[in-house]
Structures are given as C-alpha cells and as structure tokens.
Amino acid sequence: MENLKYLSSKQALFDLAVFRQWYQESLNLKRNRTGAENAWFVFGVSYSGALSAWFRLKFPHLTCGSLASSAVVLAVYNYTDYDKQVGESAGPECKAVLQEITELVDRSLETNKKELKKQFGAAELDIDGDFFYFLADAAVVAFQYGHPDALCTPLVDAKKAGMDLVAAYAKYVKEYFVGTFGVSVETYNQKHLKNTAVNEGSSDRLWWFQVCTEVAYFQVAPSNDTVRSSKIDTKYHLDLCKNVFGEGIYPEVDVTNIYYGGTNIAGSKIIFTNGSQDPWRHASKQTSSPGNNAQSCSIPDAVNKVRHKMTEHIDL
C-alpha cells in the first residue's frame, strides 16, 4: 500500500508531462537544435482515453490536441447504465435468454455451487460475487468488441432447441471468453488481487485500486430488468475494496469529477469517439460542446481532411 499512494490519474498526467518534456529535449539534442517544439497530439482508449482528454485539459501548452476514444471522463459510483447497455445491445431475444441463464445460475449456485463453478472452469473463484462478475463480463465483451453473434447465436439456438442453457453459456465462456478472447479466470479472484508481487497479472490489482479510490464504475445490477446477477451490488464492490486494500478505501468520485469536470470537461481540441454498443460510452462525453459541429465527424471528406492535417503534424 505504501507505493500505491503514487497510483492516481493526477500522478500519471504529471509523469506524462515530464516524459513529453524529456523526449522533446532528446529530439532537439538528436537534431542539434535548441528550443524547438514539435506538435504533440495525444491518443488514448478507455481509461487511457480519459487520460488523453485530461492531459489536454491540464497541460494545453504541451499538446496541440487529443483523441479520446471511449474515454471514461465521468467517474460514476453505481454504474447501472453499463448493464442496461448490455441488454439494449443484446436485443429482446438474446437479452431474455441471458436473463434466464442468470436466474438458472443463481438458483443452481445455492444447491450445486462446486460443480457449477467447475462447469465454467472457474472453480478457483471461492467468492460467489467474483464468480457472478466473471460470468457478467463474459457476456459484455461480445458487445463491447463487436462480436454479438459469437454470444447470441449459440444461446438463442440452444433456447429454441430446448437445450441446457447453462451448459451452452459455459461452452461460450470457456471457448470464446477464456479461449479466443484470452481472459484469465484469475483476474476475477480476490486472492489474486491481494497479491502484491510484481508480475504479468499486477495490472489487475492496480486497476482495481483506482476503481476503489478515484473512479468507482461499480458495475452493479440495475434494480429491475437486469441482465447480470442482482448479487453484483454496491456491497460486493465495497467489500472487494476493503478485502483487497484494507480499511478506509473509498472511491471519491465527486472529487474526481470536480477536478476534471466530468462530461463538462472544459478542454479544447479534444475529439471524443464512442461505439454505439459500448457500455462504457455512458461514462464518456457523447454530445459536442457548444460552438462545435460534431456532425462533421460523420462526413468522410471532413474526417479525411482532419486525418491529413494530423499526419502533417506527426514529425519525429
């Protein structure tokens, strides 16, 4: 915990600013020039997309613009819109099947917990909330990354054929979510998140620390019509934060939004892009600020013109 005090978006931005200055000076030295300033354009996706926008906001003199894709600039305590977007993206038929699977898993876990978790290849997840979170995320990736048919087609077909829906979902989870997509079950294990050793999986713990201190994005189940298990609630997230990082850890989302402005971010020359099916888009800026013409972003000629201008500025 001693070193985690340096893990914050603010520290990351200052680190980026120092790196930018160091690299600019290195370029000048390499090219035997003094005081020259290249045009720096920052890019980012998801959390790094937020950092991209925030860097432009806080260090406008160090960058000429920002591309913030799926940039989660709005810290959200109970992020119910995440699950709502999954249901909307799935469509009525697939959503209904996913909800039925959730109900079946909820009931089965009460009587056949060990075998059920083993069926999904997740026997190591002793905490039920971790298991439910793992299953919920498995569905999300199909929509977030543009492969809804990989999830919905086999599940809807299984429903129509009267097949075992839990078995069908377990097959998808193991073959696509873990197999093709490459997710590790360990990522969802709080025992793993408590491990302070530096290794390939350390980023899991680091991201949860920022979740538990700055941005939350608690992906809780909505009060009704939820796709994920209702057991993924606020208490689950707070208990995780306490279990992994100890007492006194709490996400100061209001402080984060006051500091950066949330979706009212006051920075200039920031391009926000969001996927229509991405559940993270509800934590991003989706409407243009007054005085800006967002319609140009969907006009091919206008987009190509901007791309050419960006290319002209890239001079290393």
User: In this structure, what token pair is assigned to residue 295?
Assistant: 């319609």
Each residue's pLDDT tens digit, 247-288: 999 999 999 999 999 999 999 999 999 999 999 999 999 988
Question: Of 313 and 235, which is predicted with more confidence?
Answer: 235
Please state, rounded to an integer, the average pLDDT across all residues of the chain: 93
Q: Is 220 contained in some domain?
A: yes
Pairing between strand 41-45 and 216-218? unpaired
**126 vs 109, 245, 298, CA distance in Å?**
12, 18, 47
Task: Say which residue the tokens 């079950």 belong to.
Answer: 185
133/212 same-domain check: yes
- What is the C-alpha separation between 119 and 170, in angstroms, rounded? 7
Predicted confidence at residue 313, as pLDDT, reads 64
Which of 205, 228, 250 corresponds to the end of one domain? 250
Q: Is 255 contained in some domain?
A: no
Predicted confidence at residue 307, as pLDDT, reads 66
Predicted confidence at residue 246, as pLDDT, reads 94
Number of domains in the chain: 2
28/159 same-domain check: no
287/194 same-domain check: no
125/187 same-domain check: yes
Predicted confidence at residue 303, as pLDDT, reads 63
Pairing between strand 76-78 and 65-69? unpaired
Each residue's pLDDT tens digit, 136-192: 999 999 999 999 999 999 999 999 999 999 999 999 999 999 999 999 999 999 999
Indicate if the pLDDT at residue 3 is higher than 90: no
Neighbour tally for 67: CB within 10 Å: 20
Question: Of 46 and 308, which is predicted with more confidence?
Answer: 46
148/245 same-domain check: yes
Q: Is 256 contained in some domain?
A: no
Each residue's pLDDT tens digit, 199-231: 887 899 999 999 999 999 999 999 999 999 999
Predicted confidence at residue 316, as pLDDT, reads 44
272/245 same-domain check: no
243/150 same-domain check: yes
Beta carbons of 83 and 228 less than 8 angstroms apart: yes
Indicate if the pLDDT at residue 302 is higher than 90: no
Each residue's pLDDT tens digit, 47-95: 999 999 999 999 999 999 999 999 999 999 999 999 999 999 999 999 9
Each residue's pLDDT tens digit, 91-117: 999 999 999 999 999 999 999 999 999
82/52 same-domain check: no
101/224 same-domain check: yes
305/185 same-domain check: no
Q: Is 241 contained in some domain?
A: yes
**Residue 221 belongs to what domain range?**
76-250
For residues 293-302, average pLDDT: 63
Q: Is 223 contained in some domain?
A: yes
pTM, full prediction: 0.89
Predicted confidence at residue 304, as pLDDT, reads 72
155/299 same-domain check: no
237/105 same-domain check: yes
Q: Is 287 contained in some domain?
A: yes
Predicted confidence at residue 173, as pLDDT, reads 98
User: In this structure, what token pair is assigned to residue 198?
Assistant: 């530096």
List the Cα angle 58/82/172 in 5-degree steps. 125
For residue 301, what pLDDT band results from cuts at 50, 70 and 90?
confident
Beta carbons of 267 and 132 less than 8 angstroms apart: no
Q: Is 288 contained in some domain?
A: yes
For residues 288-307, average pLDDT: 67
Q: Is 257 contained in some domain?
A: no
